Amino acid sequence: MRNRYAKTFKRSIAAAAVSAVLGMSTAYAEDIKGNVVVTDGTIAGVTVKAVNKATNTTRTVDVNADGSYRLAKLPTGSYEVTVSKGDTVLAKETIRVSLGNNTNADFSVESSVEVISVTGSRVSMVDVSSMDSGLTIGEGDIDRMPVARNLTSVALLAPGVVLGDSKFSGAGVGFASFGGSSVSENSCYINGLEVTNTRQGLGCGSVPFEFYNEFQVKTGGYSAKFGRATGGVINSNTKSGTNDWEFAATATFQPDSLREEGSVSRQNGGTGRIFRDTRSDVDGSTEFTLSAAGPIIEDTLFIYALVNPRDTERSYTDFNGRDQENGVSEFRERNSDGSDNLFWGGKIDWDINEDHRLSYFTYSNENTAIEDIYRFDGQTGKRGHDLIDQSIRERGGKAWSLSYTGYITDELVVSAMTGNIRTEYTTNIANQECASVADSRDTSNPAQGCGSGGRIGQNYDDNEQTRIDIEYQLGDHTISAGYDYQKRSSTNRIDRMAGDHAWTYNTIAADGNLTSSGINYTNTTGAAHDYVADRIFIGGGDFYSDLKAYYIEDNWQITDNLLLSIGGRIDEFDSYAVGGGLLTSFKTDLAPRLGFSWDVNGDGESKLYGTFGHYYLPVANNTIYRVGSGISDSTAYYTFDSIDPATGNPVNPTPITGNLGTSTSVSSPSIAPANEVFQAKEADPFSKQEFILGYDRSINDNLSVSIRGTYRTILSALDDYCGKYSYPHCVMLNPGEASSWYKDGLYWTGSAWTEDSSWGNVDGQPDPGSLRKHTKEEIGLPEAKNDYLAWQLGAKYNQDNFRFDFTYTWSRSTGNFEGGVKSDIGQADAGLTQDFDFAALMDGADGYQANDRRHVFKFFGSYDYNDDLTFGINATLASGKPLNIYGKGHPSDDPNLFGGWGDFFYTYHGCDLTFDADGEEECLNENKNYTKHPRGTAGRTSWTFNIDLSASYMFEVSGIDMRASVDVFNVLNSQQITSLNEHYEAGSEGSFNSWYGAAYSWQAPRYVRFGLEARF
């Protein structure tokens, strides 16, 4: 039995070798193609047949008159390929088909000689038929290396991919940034079903690693078949049943007792209260999988089924309020096990006949976790004993897809898919009477609430999908066309806020300004004083977006050595508010997808390739939620007498200006605007342009090298402008361009409101005759810029017992705009970040971007000491991220430039006081002293080095193949800082943020994972 397992294991390594030698390049189709040369006769009557060795799935095609052949869209696996003429077998070869990889195999045969195995065939070491960039790797290959079991860790193996900012990861591993793009611009697929988070673009649905078969990480140059992403694509498929019944049981144990202690940061340069603390974190898990795979009907109907009971335990410190201005004040213990944390999934494949295949895929990763919440003392670093709250977190969801592939003729292939994925994000708390309380002041006795606070209601997404693809071979042309539709529905209702309030205490400096939409308060008391803000965020409902796409692509084999790809894609993005009103509507221009691949020497050992493409990103459902779901978002500012020690609520709150109306900032009205009010007529959706030029070369049978250059730039940035001209709503436009939209109730002349402006006339509908085109000078916004330039060097080595992949990436990411989210301040409002809200926010914004990592070295691989013992390594060395200095004010008080809220690239350093007509001191705006800090000029975080090691051993027990493994992550226990607090001021200008410079996050401390597998 162990020999069979060992052979299977070796075959997976061979597959990895093919992927490596192919330069880790990928294509969408899984084809076996090539040429047959008959040395002593004619090609007439010669056929090529591929038989899947596990399922006996068979495809046979006639060889074309020019000797070429193509077996299109084969399921991944190992195939026995035979070349025959009549009943005579002329050649035979075993060929592996990997996810998205074309395999080129040429044969030279004699028409009168029957052979058992072929000596005249050649499987190309470089896939000259592919042009896109990235890597393809199997789950079995990952098992041989120390790779964390999540999609982000798989993506990070690819060159040009870096780990995004920790502010978006919460208690998770984080998300990947591809080619300088923000972490919200990627897409993910499992068996053709898109499983991307459609709310914000952060993360993807996933299945246990034992269920995966192969991963395809696309970092650029992807074809017109793929869209709705301006970052990268993670494409994967799952295992399927075969003609042999196989059963497996796996166990993975990650003991918290073997996890090293984390790190801590404090305010005031390390001497004050705790800002972030991972020393008491608990991160332990135990997982099991049980799987069964085999034939329901031999050679015809196959099944793979898996269940995955999980027991996870996580404890961590947390905070309330804005993360830049608040230290940890809570300790949370989260547990999930039993039926509340049970994954199940399966796949059924039906080979109806040789020409038609049907597949059904489904899974449930629904998870309910109970989280106990305690107080945490920021002075002593100790957890309180009394439970203050408890939350119930519902995550995960269910998915299914039904796929069809039909080989109508040798030239025509049709495929179709329909499916659905539902994802839960609901969190509800037990203590609904205590408000959220945060304290941003520099005090040793911060206010604390009697509960955790929060918002109460439903929150989930539902994505219905349908697509059809047609591929036709016409001579030297392979023509593909398709249609893709998704309906992305969301429900997010906030029925109420716990305690009906969310209090945040802060301090305003003497002569400091507190400005926001609707208020303008200056502290004229001559001394700093405290205040409290109360943000009320409530409302929501059901909303959705309709996405359609059409594409066509021609892969034209101009000569034997030169392949040209000419494609285009059109996307339509429509979003609808609560009640069904149209909010945004876009139809893109034809997005070109062009590429070439030149087999330089005509021997399949090297290629020069390049791609050029435009990529569009749809409006995230988060945008619809914030604008079109009826959310009421307002913040009132108060002075107060004292703080109730039992509840943390202010005692005797008094409007800070003396009037509640002028002390309240309204971020968004509860009335959803119509499309004509919210979307500028000239606006185009968010898009990027990309150029790639690369060269791959096979040095010998074991070693290949590569070099690739990549350039990406923004074609159009879509973001919300919230200046005076758009008030009371914001308007989606392309910054730096003239834009037209309708008004709703309020009219700004450039210096004042018109007499007929009235909140009473605000109804979300366009006022008749109010359409006006504003010049780019009136709007005042700069053109959006985001440029990414990278050069990548790679070397891949593969031998029977040793294989590795090494890459070095030099890159530079610059501009004034990151993309979908804003890592600098941890703003996850995809499409609605503070960028471009008004001009003052962009003053100083041009510079090195948050995901800029100038130098990144990656090395991963494995070594077989003998047939049973394998060692693995995964190491990364990366330079640090750029740092900024943010303040809360701006030198200009021009209402057309300065809207009053946000984080600016200026800090305030006092005022040169003058005297008014009555002899009283006053601080005029022009006498204020500011220092400008352009983006990325405050240094960088330190370099980080991470090395993970693994060992696995195969053995046999009572005829059962076994495998034991141990993975040690961050062997050196390096805990360099990966993210710092960049906010120099807090609350209002001139108020120093005592948390400035404190660390948000560090490299994860050393931890260990054990694994055990049994297969029979």
Q: Is 207:499 a contact under the CB 8 Å cutoff?
A: no
Residues in contact with 858: Cβ distance below 8 Å, sequence separation at least 6, in sequence order? 157, 159, 805, 806, 807, 808, 809, 875, 876
* Cα separation, 216 vs 28, whole angstroms: 10
Tokens 């909140």 correspond to: 759
Residue 577 has pLDDT above 90, yes or no: yes
Higher pLDDT, 414 or 322: 414
Both tokens assigned to 709: 């250059």
Mean of pLDDT over the chain: 90
pLDDT at 707 over 70: yes
Contact, 546 vs 654, CB < 8 A? no
Q: Which residue, 703, 701, 635, is CA-closest to 668?
A: 635
The 3-class secondary structure across 373-409, one letter per residue, is EEEEECCCCEEEEEEEEEEEEEEEEEEEEEEEEEECC
Distance in angstroms (rounded) separating the CA atoms of residues 290 and 306: 6
For residue 115, pLDDT beyond 60: no
What residues does each domain of the chain span? 2-130, 136-1015
Q: How far apart are CA 839 and CA 846, in angstroms?
A: 13
How many Å apart are CA 631 and CA 538, to the nearest integer? 6
Residue 734 has what pLDDT? 96
- 46-52, strands of its sheet edge to edge: 58-62, 46-52, 77-85, 88-97
Q: What is the pLDDT of residues 669-690, one digit of tens each?
A: 789 999 999 999 999 999 999 9
Work out the widest C-alpha separation in the chain, in whole angstroms: 113
On the question of pLDDT at 968 being above 80, the answer is yes
Residues in a beta bridge with 300: none
pLDDT in tens, 343-390: 999 999 999 998 999 999 999 999 999 999 999 998 899 999 899 999
* φ, ψ for residue 768, nearest 5 deg: -55, 135
Q: Which residues contact 642 (CB under 8 A, 6 or more apart)?
A: 650, 651, 652
Taking the C-alpha atoms of residue 475 and residue 820, their distance in angstroms, rounded to an integer, is 43
Q: Which two tokens stand for residue 195?
A: 């499983």
CB 401 within 8 A of CB 418: yes
Confidence of residue 8 (pLDDT cuts 50, 70, 90): very low
pLDDT at 172: 61
**CB-CB neighbours of 98 under 10 Å:** 24
Domain 2-130 carries which CATH code? Answer: 2.60.40.1120
What would the pLDDT profile of 847-859 be if each residue is shown by its tens digit? 999 999 999 999 9
pLDDT average, residue stretch 104-117: 69
Distances in whole angstroms, Cα of residue 843 to Cα of each of 334, 517, 717, 838, 1011: 43, 19, 17, 10, 53
Higher-scoring residue by pLDDT: 514, 1008: 1008
Angle at 454 between CA 390 and CA 376, to 5 degrees: 55
Look at residue 5 in the predicted model and tell me its pLDDT: 35
Give the helix/strand (H/E) hosting 188: strand 187-190
Mean pLDDT of 131-144: 88
Instruction: For the chain, give percent helix, strand, coil, nearest 5.
Output: 10, 50, 40
Structure tokens, 635: 């913040």
For the stretch 882-934, pLDDT in tens is 999 999 999 998 989 988 788 999 999 988 888 887 878 888 888 899 999 99
On whether the CB atoms of residues 576 and 526 are closer than 8 A, the answer is no
Q: What is the helix (H) or strand (E) element at residue 20, kind and residue range?
A: helix 2-21
Residue with tokens 């080619």: 179
Please tell me the distance from the alpha carbon of residue 508 to that of residue 531, in angstroms, as a whole number: 7
- Distance, CA of 247 to chain centre: 34
Distance CA 908, CA 902 (A): 14
**Cβ contacts of 755 within 8 Å, gap of 6 or more:** none
| Whole-number pLDDT of residue 668 | 76
What pLDDT, on a 0 to 100 scale, did the predictor assign at position 916? 80
Instruction: Please write the tens of the pLDDT for every residue from 939-953.
Output: 999 999 999 999 999
Which class for 530: exposed (0-12), middle (13-18), buried (19 or more C-beta within 10 A)? Answer: middle
Residues near 312 by beta carbon (within 8 Å), at least 6 away in sequence: 284, 285, 334, 335, 336, 337, 341, 369
Partners of 705 in the β-ladder: 697, 795
Strand partners, 417: 403, 467
Alpha-carbon distance values, 154 to 100, 192, 395, 771 (Å): 16, 18, 22, 50
Q: What is the pLDDT of residue 402?
A: 98
Residue 309 host element (H or E) = strand 301-318
How large a percentage of the chain has pLDDT more than 90?
70
Say whether 876 sits in a helix, a strand or coil: strand
Task: Report pLDDT for 139.
Answer: 85
- Residue, of 39 and 20, whose pLDDT is higher: 39
Distance CA 163, CA 154 (A): 11
In the three-class reduction of DSSP (H, G, I as helix; E, B as strand; rest coil), residue 46 is classed as strand
- Give the single-character DSSP code of 662: G
Whether 569 and 483 have beta carbons less than 8 Å apart is answered as no
Amino acid sitting at position 929 = N
Give residue 4's pLDDT band: very low, low, confident or very high (50, 70, 90). very low
Least confident of 20-34, 433-447, 583-597, 991-1005: 20-34
Tokens of 680: 């500028």
- CA-wise closest residue to 32 among 97, 114, 112, 116: 97
Burial class (CB in 10 A: 0-12, 13-18, 19+), 677: buried
Closest CA to 101 of 183, 205, 10, 24: 24
Residues 374 and 452: their CA atoms lie apart, in Å, by 9
C-alpha 989/C-alpha 398 separation (Å) is 48
Angle at 929 between CA 927 and CA 930, to 5 degrees: 135
130 φ, ψ (degrees, to nearest 5): -115, 155
Give dist(CA 95, CA 117) in Å, integer.
13
Q: In this structure, which amino acid lies at residue 532?
A: V
Q: What is the per-residue pLDDT for 29?
A: 45
At CA 615, angle to CA 614 and CA 616, rounded to 5? 130
Least confident of 170-179, 409-418, 451-460: 170-179
Would you call 590 helix, strand, or coil by DSSP? coil
At 63, the amino acid letter reads V
**What is residue 585's predicted lDDT score, i.e. its pLDDT?**
97
Contact 331, 371 (CB under 8 A): no
Domain over 136-1015 is classified CATH 2.40.170.20: yes
pLDDT value of position 420: 97
CB atoms within 10 A of CB 170: 12
Question: What is the spatial distance between Cα 56 and Cα 301, in angstroms, rounded to a whole number?
Answer: 11
More confident residue, 30 or 554: 554
Higher pLDDT, 574 or 13: 574
Question: Mind listing the pLDDT tens digit for each residue in 467-497?
Answer: 999 999 999 999 999 999 999 999 998 888 9
pLDDT of residue 170: 59
pLDDT at 794: 95
Pair 697, 664: CB distance under 8 Å: no
Is the pTM here over 0.75, yes or no? yes
Tens-place pLDDT, residues 54-63: 898 888 898 9
Rounded-to-integer distance, Cα 755 and Cα 768, Å: 17
pLDDT of residue 797: 93
Say how far apart CA 980 and CA 985 lie, in whole Å.
14
Q: Which whole number is the average pLDDT over 171-179?
A: 83
- pLDDT over 70 percentage in the chain: 95
Cα separation of 493 and 426, whole Å? 10
Q: Are 212 and 421 in contact (CB under 8 A)?
A: no
Query: pLDDT confidence of 21, banded at 50, 70, 90?
Result: very low
Instruction: Please state, in angstroms and rounded to a whole number, the distance separating the CA atoms of residues 371 and 391.
Output: 5
Q: What was the pLDDT predicted at 804? A: 94
In the chain, the amino acid numbered 698 is: S
Coil, strand or helix at 329: coil
899: left (phi over 0), alpha (psi -120 to 50) or beta: alpha
Position 237 pLDDT exceeds 70: yes
Per-residue pLDDT tens over the stretch 256-314: 999 999 999 999 999 999 999 999 999 889 999 999 999 999 999 999 999 999 999 99
Q: If 0-12 CB within 10 Å is exposed, 13-18 middle and 19+ buried, where does residue 87 land?
A: exposed
pLDDT over 60 at 27, yes or no: no
Phi first, then psi, for residue 339 (nearest 5°) are -70, -15
> Which are the contacts of 559, defined by CB distance < 8 A and separation ≥ 6?
none
